[in-house]
Structures are given as structure tokens and as C-alpha cells.
């Protein structure tokens, strides 16, 4: 395994030379020597706070380095703004696309460089000609309507607009950086994006790919650069390494150390679901005991999230019963479920769980306000003590509990969601994709929290699309397919092959499906 940061390509392409960056007394980057050769995909990995975003912002002109310099083809670049970087052919596809909501796709793509007639009026004929030609050239004509208004775009279409911005303009791109580009894409859209990135590579464009998803990294990357604590921990050829070696570079410990294996389940049944049916799930039965971690696995669309929402009172139950610690629950909405002792950390934390412009304190105390009130007023001191207690317990990294949640990393935002429920002390906690979009270090802390919950006697139901996570966390695995339970596996019985066999059982029984798991969008 090589750790050289220099490519055999020599001075061609973009190079970061001895880059350092300070923010006041905080040293965010130091001594970064890394090149990005043309025609290769360099994956950039590291925990949240490792320096990935800071390095990208220096390369794209958002930040000036405190030390070192950026070179293009061996010549120093003076990057004072993103405009300077764009003129040099350096582009970034941000994780959160910046879309103008009230104008169509065509005007969003060429914002700032719209064709004008007589220097003033928008030349709509030229705009139509240009957007049509670019959509055809990039292969987006069937998936992106140039007349769609920005506010009507799906997350995938918003990403495509950003990609078109990067690939159009007077200066041809030399380097394109993708920052967590698949976080809101479907399996089909991910494959289309990967095909585009491979085409960019074959056209001689340097690509930086930032992602926490190991599978994507090994599918796409030629080489992988790992940052840790603001320094370059190593650069490896993707073909010469594996997931375990990357984890050791990122966090300094083995992947096997991430999971806390334990056996603390008791005989007391906390959740008892008997033949539950909704519009999306049919005849589901399962149990979860106190201190037990049960994982729900299955392919995309199996009905796992819909079952979780039904248990939490967010979706109507058509038939069947749900009992919590021997008490039958009546379908009366989320408030009744919370009062009964059920907590849900949903899949989309930003859209479904968090108030991003409110503080950590506000978000943590949200479901505990009943016991924090004196008449109509919240007891502020008790609220602060509660939020601080769980921020400390879960190691939330923030200046204070008065920081707005939108300023936190994905892993710390997820910890705030967990802090909310720990403060409530539920009997059953449902965690839907609890580590989606968080780095390896944050995953390890979330796994520790889940182990602590089980040790405290909480029944935990985990939904995860990562099979290693399912196998590492679960005492039992319940597998779903097309809204039904197709099987249950003990910890000793569970394996990736056994889970996929149950997850695909009905698919493989039909004549119009293939035997290739990839063709099913298989994400268990």
C-alpha cells in the first residue's frame, strides 16, 4: 500500500503544495501536499472536522490559504474568489445545490452569464438553443425539463443543474469536485451520475470525489486521499487497499472495533406487533425485548420506513395490534405514541426531525417540554441543564448548546436527534438509517450510544441499508420484502448472504426479474 501523495503525472493538473489554514487560533489544515492529476478520480475521505471542506474551499477560491500555494500545471494560481477558480477551470458540485427558486432550469444553469440581446434584454431564442444543445451533449435531455421552475425540482434534478453549471461556460473544466453528491439520489440516479463521472475521467478531467460511502469510493476512485486532524494521513491506490485499511487511516483503529458486541436482552417483551397492516405493509408480526437491538433489513421499497412511521403514529393502521409493555396502543397519532413510550429518529433528519434554525437546547427539549413547564412557561434553567447533560453524554461537538443545529456536522445533528429521545427516556426507540451521511468516527459514537441504550434496558429497532452495520449491531434481524416479513435471523444465523436471500425471495420467484442483485437496486 503506497502513501505517496504525488502522482506520476508530474506537474500536469492541480496541486496543493504545503497548504495550511488557520481560523484564529484553530489550525484547520497543515502541510497538505496533494496533487489531482487529469483523467483520474481522487476520493477525499476523513471524519467530519478532518479538513476536507476547508481544503475544497481553498481549491475553489472560497478561502485563502494561511500557508502554501495552489498550482495549475506547475504554475501558481492566485485564487481570490470562486470566480477566479472558475476561470481557471476549477468547479465544485456542492452537497446542497444552490437553486434560484422562481426561475426555470435554463436560467438557473446560466445564471450570471445569460445571453443578452442588445446588451440588456434576455435573448430567449439563444437561451433555448444553448440549453437544448447542452442537455443533449450531457445526456440529460430525458431527465431535465429546461422549463421547470427551480422550486419544482427534485433533489436529483437540483444536482443535475449544478453539474450543468460546472460543465458549461467559456472556460472548459480542468477539475470538478463532487461533495457528497449521492446523498439525495435514488439507485438509478446514482448509476447515471457514476457514468457521467467516468466520462469526465475519460475526457481527461481531474475529479475529486468526497463521500463517506465506502462502496461508492471503491466503485469510482482511482486513488484515495485520507485527511485526519487537518493533516494528510495517506494517499493510496484504490486497487491496493481495502475498507479496513481506510478506516485505520481515518480513525486509527480497526473496523471491528466500531461495534460493541453484547448480550443484555431480557425476556420482557417491550414491543409486540401482531399482524399489522397499513397501506404500505401487510400482516407484519414482530417483537422486540428490553435491552435488545432488532434490525429491519430489506431492499429499497421493502416497507421498513413505513412500518416505523406506523408504529410512531405517523401513518394510519388498517388492522392488527401494537402493544407496548403489555398495553395495547390505540392509533391516535404521534403524540399518543410518544406518551406511550415510543421514540422515532426518522430517516431524513433535516426534513423530518430537526428545526435547523433553532438551538441544540431547543431541539433537545422538544419532546420533554411537558415536564419542563411551570404552568404555561418553560423552566429555562432545567431545560438548559437537560440539554447540556445529553450534549455532554453524547459528545456533541459545538461551541455551546445555544448553537443553531444547522451549523453542526451531520454526525452531530444526528446526536442531537438521539439526545432528544434519551432525554425523554422511551421504552422503545426506532432508529431509521441512524448513520446515513455521517463519517466513520461519528458512526462509532452512534454505535456506542445504541449499545448504551440497550444496556439501560431500552428496546431498539434499527433500520439500516448497510449490511455490515446490521450484522454488527443486531441481536436479531427481521427481513422485509414488498411490505411483508420474509424471515427472521438470529445473530448466529445472520450473514450478508442469508439476509439478501430473504430480502430478494419474492423478486427471484417471478419470471420478469434477473438473477443479478444489482438489477434490483439491492440495498439491504
CATH number at residue 60: 3.40.50.300
Show Cβ contacts of residue 341 under 8 Å, excluding neighbours closer than 6 positions: 324, 325, 426, 427, 428
Domain membership of residue 3 (yes or no) is no
- The domain total for the chain is 4
Give me the half-sphere count of Cα atoms (radius 13 Å) on the Cβ side of residue 172: 6
Number of H helices, E strands in the chain: 18, 24
CB 378: neighbour CB atoms within 10 A?
14
By mean pLDDT, which of 105-114, 217-226, 512-521 is the weakest? 512-521
The whole-angstrom distance between residue 308's C-alpha and the CA centroid of its chain comes to: 20
By mean pLDDT, which of 198-202, 247-251, 496-500 is the weakest? 247-251
Q: Tell me the pLDDT band of 512, cut-offs 50, 70 and 90.
A: very low
Give 10's DSSP letter: T
Same structural domain, 322 and 431: yes
- Average of pLDDT values for 419-439? 88
In the predicted structure, residue 330 carries a pLDDT above the cut 50? yes
Same structural domain, 362 and 329: no
Give me the half-sphere count of Cα atoms (radius 13 Å) on the Cβ side of residue 129: 5
In the predicted structure, residue 472 carries a pLDDT above the cut 70? yes
Tell me which of 219, 252, 285 is where a domain ends. Answer: 252
Q: Is 298 helix (H, G, I), strand (E, B) or coil?
A: strand
In the predicted structure, residue 428 carries a pLDDT above the cut 80? yes
Distances (CA, A) of 39 to 9, 70, 198, 217, 235: 10, 19, 9, 16, 17
Looking up cell 426518522 gives 346
User: What pLDDT is recorded for position 521?
Assistant: 38
Q: How far apart are CA 289 and CA 479, in angstroms?
A: 17
Domain membership of residue 346 (yes or no) is no
* Cell, residue 514: 434477473
User: What pLDDT is recorded for position 3?
Assistant: 42
User: What pLDDT is recorded for position 366?
Assistant: 86
Q: pTM of the entire structure?
A: 0.62
In the predicted structure, residue 80 carries a pLDDT above the cut 80? yes
Tell me which of 199, 224, 252 is where a domain ends. Answer: 252
Domain membership of residue 6 (yes or no) is no
Same structural domain, 415 and 450: no
In the predicted structure, residue 509 carries a pLDDT above the cut 50? no
Burial class (CB in 10 A: 0-12, 13-18, 19+), 413: buried
Domain membership of residue 8 (yes or no) is no
User: What pLDDT is recorded for position 256?
Assistant: 58
Domain membership of residue 7 (yes or no) is no
Q: Tell me the pLDDT band of 262, cut-offs 50, 70 and 90.
A: confident
Domain that includes residue 431, residue range: 258-341+426-520
Same structural domain, 333 and 454: yes
Same structural domain, 450 and 409: no
Q: Tell me the pLDDT band of 11, cut-offs 50, 70 and 90.
A: low
Domain membership of residue 350 (yes or no) is no
User: What pLDDT is recorded for position 283?
Assistant: 95
User: What pLDDT is recorded for position 255?
Assistant: 55
Is the CA virtual torsion 182, 186, 190, 193 positive or negative? negative
Q: Tell me the pLDDT band of 156, cut-offs 50, 70 and 90.
A: confident
Check: CB of residue 343 under 8 Å from CB of residue 424. yes
User: What pLDDT is recorded for position 445?
Assistant: 83
Burial class (CB in 10 A: 0-12, 13-18, 19+), 369: exposed
User: What pLDDT is recorded for position 511?
Assistant: 41
Mean pLDDT for all residues in the chain: 85
User: What pLDDT is recorded for position 257?
Assistant: 64
Same structural domain, 59 and 172: yes
Same structural domain, 265 and 322: yes
Looking up cell 390505540 gives 330
In what helix (H) or strand (E) does residue 34 lie, and over which residues does it extend? strand 26-36
* Cell, residue 183: 446523498
Distances (CA, A) of 439 to 45, 50, 146, 211, 288: 9, 10, 36, 9, 28
Q: Tell me the pLDDT band of 270, cut-offs 50, 70 and 90.
A: very high
- Average of pLDDT values for 234-249? 88
Q: How far apart are CA 431 and CA 382, in angstroms?
A: 27
Tell me which of 152, 171, 193 is where a domain ends. Answer: 152
Same structural domain, 129 and 199: no
Is the CA virtual torsion 214, 218, 221, 226 positive or negative? positive
Looking up cell 496533487 gives 35
Burial 3-33 (b: 16+ CB within 10 A, else e): eebebeeeebbbbbeebbbeeeeeebbbebe
- Average of pLDDT values for 450-461? 92
Q: Tell me the pLDDT band of 235, cut-offs 50, 70 and 90.
A: very high
Same structural domain, 192 and 221: yes
Q: How far apart are CA 236 and CA 239, in angstroms?
A: 8
Q: For 93-123, what is each residue's pLDDT tens digit? A: 887 778 899 999 999 998 878 888 876 788 8
Question: Which candidate, 469, 428, 257, 190, places its Cα nearest to that of 326?
Answer: 428
Give 350's DSSP letter: I
Same structural domain, 466 and 506: yes
User: What pLDDT is recorded for position 477?
Assistant: 96
In the predicted structure, residue 381 carries a pLDDT above the cut 90? no
Percent of the chain with pLDDT over 90: 45
In the predicted structure, residue 253 carries a pLDDT above the cut 70? no
User: What pLDDT is recorded for position 508?
Assistant: 40
User: What pLDDT is recorded for position 514?
Assistant: 39
Q: Tell me the pLDDT band of 523, cut-offs 50, 70 and 90.
A: very low
Same structural domain, 404 and 469: no
Same structural domain, 90 and 160: yes
Helix, strand, coil shares of the chain, percent, nearest 5, are: 35, 25, 40
Domain membership of residue 264 (yes or no) is yes
Distances (CA, A) of 10 to 13, 74, 407, 469: 8, 9, 39, 40
In the predicted structure, residue 15 carries a pLDDT above the cut 90? yes
Amino acid at each position: 500500500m503506497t502513501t505517496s501523495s504525488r502522482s506520476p503525472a508530474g506537474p500536469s493538473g492541480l496541486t496543493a503544495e504545503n497548504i495550511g489554514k488557520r481560523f484564529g487560533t484553530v489550525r484547520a489544515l497543515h502541510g497538505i501536499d496533494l496533487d489531482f492529476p487529469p483523467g483520474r478520480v481522487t476520493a477525499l475521505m476523513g471524519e467530519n472536522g478532518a479538513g476536507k471542506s476547508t481544503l475544497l474551499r481553498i481549491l475553489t477560491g472560497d478561502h485563502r490559504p494561511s500557508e502554501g500555494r495552489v498550482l495549475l500545471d506547475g504554475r501558481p494560481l492566485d485564487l481570490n474568489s470562486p470566480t477566479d477558480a472558475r476561470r481557471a477551470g476549477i468547479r465544485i458540485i456542492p452537497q446542497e445545490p444552490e437553486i434560484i427558486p422562481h426561475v426555470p432550469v435554463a436560467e438557473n444553469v446560466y445564471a450570471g452569464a445569460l445571453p443578452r440581446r442588445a446588451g440588456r434584454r434576455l435573448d430567449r431564442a439563444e437561451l433555448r438553443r444553448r440549453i437544448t444543445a447542452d442537455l443533449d451533449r450531457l445526456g440529460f435531455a430525458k431527465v431535465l425539463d429546461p422549463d421547470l421552475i427551480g422550486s419544482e425540482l427534485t433533489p436529483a434534478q437540483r444536482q443535475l443543474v449544478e453539474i450543468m453549471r460546472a460543465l458549461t461556460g467559456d472556460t472548459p473544466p480542468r477539475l470538478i469536485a463532487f461533495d457528497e453528491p449521492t446523498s439525495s439520489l435514488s439507485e438509478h440516479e446514482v448509476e447515471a451520475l457514476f457514468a457521467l463521472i467516468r466520462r469526465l475521467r475519460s475526457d481527461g478531467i481531474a475529479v475529486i470525489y468526497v463521500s463517506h460511502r465506502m462502496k461508492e469510493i471503491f466503485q469510482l476512485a482511482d486513488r484515495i486521499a485520507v485527511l485526519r486532524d487537518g493533516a494528510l494521513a495517506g494517499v493510496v491506490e484504490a486497487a491496493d487497499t481495502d475498507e479496513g485499511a481506510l478506516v485505520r487511516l481515518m480513525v486509527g483503529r480497526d473496523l471491528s472495533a466500531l461495534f460493541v458486541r453484547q448480550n443484555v436482552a431480557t425476556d420482557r417483551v417491550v414491543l409486540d406487533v401482531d399482524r399489522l397492516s397499513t397501506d404500505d405493509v401487510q400482516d407484519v408480526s414482530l417483537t422486540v425485548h428490553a435491552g435488545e437491538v432488532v434490525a429491519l433489513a430489506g431492499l429499497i421499497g421493502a416497507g421498513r420506513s413505513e412500518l416505523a412511521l406506523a408504529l410512531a403514529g405517523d401513518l394510519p393502521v388498517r388492522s392488527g395490534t401494537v402493544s407496548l409493555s403489555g398495553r395495547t396502543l390505540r392509533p391516535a397519532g404521534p403524540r399518543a405514541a410518544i406518551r406511550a413510550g415510543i421514540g422515532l429518529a426518522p430517516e431524513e433528519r433535516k426534513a423530518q426531525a430537526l428545526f435547523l434554525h433553532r438551538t441544540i437546547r431547543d431541539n433537545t427539549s422538544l419532546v420533554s417540554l411537558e415536564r419542563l413547564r411551570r404552568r404555561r412557561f418553560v423552566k429555562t434553567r432545567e431545560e438548559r441543564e437537560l440539554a447540556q447533560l445529553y450534549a455532554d453524554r453524547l459528545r456533541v461537538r459545538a461551541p455551546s448548546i445555544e448553537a443553531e443545529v444547522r451549523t453542526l456536522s451531520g454526525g452531530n445533528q444526528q446526536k442531537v436527534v438521539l439526545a432528544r429521545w434519551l432525554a425523554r427516556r422511551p421504552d422503545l426507540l426506532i432508529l431509521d438509517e441512524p448513520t446515513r451521511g455521517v463519517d466513520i468516527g461519528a458512526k462509532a459514537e452512534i454505535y456506542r450510544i445504541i449499545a448504551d441504550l440497550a444496556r439501560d434496558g431500552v428496546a431498539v429497532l434499527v433500520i439500516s441499508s448497510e449490511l455490515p452495520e446490521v450484522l454488527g449491531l443486531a441481536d436479531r434481524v427481521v427481513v422485509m420484502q414488498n411490505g411483508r416479513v420474509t424471515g427472521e435471523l438470529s445473530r448466529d444465523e445472520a450473514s450478508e448472504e442469508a439476509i439478501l436471500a430473504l430480502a430478494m425471495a419474492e423478486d427471484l420467484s417471478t419470471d420478469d426479474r434477473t438473477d443479478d442483485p444489482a438489477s434490483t437496486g439491492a440495498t439491504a
